[in-house]
Amino acid sequence: MTYLAQQIPEFTSSNITETAPAWSGSTLTAGAFVVGSRYTIVSLGTTNFTLIGAATNTIGVVFVATGVGTGTGTAITTYNVGDYSLLGSFVFKAVSNHTNKSPATYEGVYWVKWQISNKWAMLDLSAQSKSYVNAGNLTVEFLQNRMGTLAIGNYEAEYVTISILDTDGTTVLWTYNNESALNENVIDYYSYIYEPYGYQVDRAIKIVLPLWGYKVKVVFHISGDATRTACGFLVGGDEVDMGDTLWGVNFRYNSYSTKTYDAFGSLTIAKRAVQQLIDFKTIINSDEIMNIERQKRAIYGVIVVFIINNDGLNYENLITLGTIENSDVVLEQAEKTILTWSVIESV
C-alpha cells in the first residue's frame, strides 16, 4: 500500500465550468454591467437605466440588467436572499438582501458557505465533489514540480490523456492515454449482446509520471453522446510506501440516510451520503517499523489518497480518498511485521 498527499496547489489553466458568478463589491460604470445580474443605481451620469431594465431612472432603484449599458452612470451589484456568489475556492449563498458585503468578511451574517467551487472541486480532497465541463473535453494544466504520481478519481470520460509539456507550454515531451472505460464489463459474447452501453463511467486510476518537463496537462475525453466530462479528485505527489497489502481487504459503509416511520408504519427514507470504510493489513520488514510509524504520524488527521493495491494495475476499487481512522502495529517476528489499517473515505 502507498499513500499520496496533495502537492498540486492550483491549476495554471482550465476550462472547468463554474457554477456561480464571481462576487463583486465594486461600483461599475455603464458598459461593464453583466446581463442577468442585479444592481442598485449609484449615480445617473449620462446613462438611461430604463433602457437596461430599471423601472425608473432614479438613484437607489434596484434592477436586473438587460444590457451592458452606455454612458457614465454607475451601479453596484446587489444580492437577494438565495443568490449564489463565487469567492476564492467556495460558492456562497446569500441569507439576506444586501450590497457590498463580502462573503470573506460577512460569512454567517449575510452569506453561508454553500459548496466548493467547481474549479477547485478536484483539489478539495472530497470524494463526492465534481468539476465538470458541459459538452466538451475537460482540460486542466498545472506545474509538474517533480511529482511522480497522479491519482485521478471519480471521473466521467471515455479515456484520459496525460501529457508532460516543455517550458513553452506546447511542446509535448511525454504522453499517455489510459485504457477506454467504455464497456469494461463486456467479457464474452453474451455480455456484448446484453450489456448496456455506458457513455459515462465513474472510476479511479493511478498514473506514474516521468520526473521531467514544466507542466502536466490532463484531458478528460467526452464519450459518445454524453452531455459532460467530469472529475471528482486529482491528486499529484510522491508515493510513500507503507508495506505490501495482504489479501482480505474488507469494504464497509456508513450511511447518513435517515429513516422515519409514521403512525401507520410507513417508512420514509431521506437519502444522504454513503461513506466507505476499508479495513486491510500490510506487511513490512521489522527493521522498518519506526520509519513507517513516523510516516503514519505525518498523515494522521490528513486526507490523502490510499492506493491499497499497488501492483502496477489500475484497480479503481482499491484506490480511495480519505484519512486514517485507526492503525496498529503487530510485531510477530524478527523479520516481518503486520500493520492493520482502518481508512475512512472523505465525504
Q: For the chain, which residues make up each domain, given as ranges?
A: 9-16+122-238, 27-116, 244-345
pLDDT of residue 58: 96
Query: Which CATH architecture is the domain 9-16+122-238 placed in?
Result: Sandwich (2.60)
> What is d(CA 306, CA 342) in angstroms, rounded to the nearest whole number?
11
> What is d(CA 118, CA 16) in angstroms, rounded to the nearest whole number?
7
Which residue type does 287 have? Answer: D
* CATH class for the region spanning 244-345: mainly beta
Quick count: other Cβ atoms within 10 Å of Cβ 82?
9
pLDDT of residue 179: 73
Cβ contact 151:233 at 8 Å: yes
Sign of CA dihedral 68, 69, 73, 76: negative
End-to-end CA distance of the chain: 21
Q: Which three cell numbers stand for residue 101?
A: 458585503
pLDDT of residue 187: 52
At 322, is the secondary structure helix, strand, or coil? strand
Burial 138-148 (b: 16+ CB within 10 A, else e): bbbbbbbeebe
At 58, is the secondary structure helix, strand, or coil? coil
> What is d(CA 216, CA 233) in angstroms, rounded to the nearest whole number?
15
**For the whole prediction, is pTM greater than 0.85?**
no
Burial 158-195 (b: 16+ CB within 10 A, else e): bbbbbbbbeeeeeeeeeeeebeebbeeeeeeeeeeeee
Q: Which three cell numbers stand for residue 304?
A: 490523502
Low-confidence ranges of the chain (pLDDT < 50): 192, 197-200, 312, 314-316
pLDDT of residue 14: 93
pLDDT in tens, 179-195: 765 555 555 555 545 55
pLDDT in tens, 203-231: 788 899 999 999 999 999 998 778 889 99
pLDDT of residue 198: 47
> What is d(CA 54, CA 57) in angstroms, rounded to the nearest whole number?
7
Alpha helices, H only, 35-75: none
pLDDT of residue 45: 96
pLDDT of residue 319: 83
Sign of CA dihedral 7, 12, 18, 22: positive
Phi-psi region of 121 (alpha: psi -120 to 50; beta: other; left: phi over 0): alpha
pLDDT of residue 205: 85
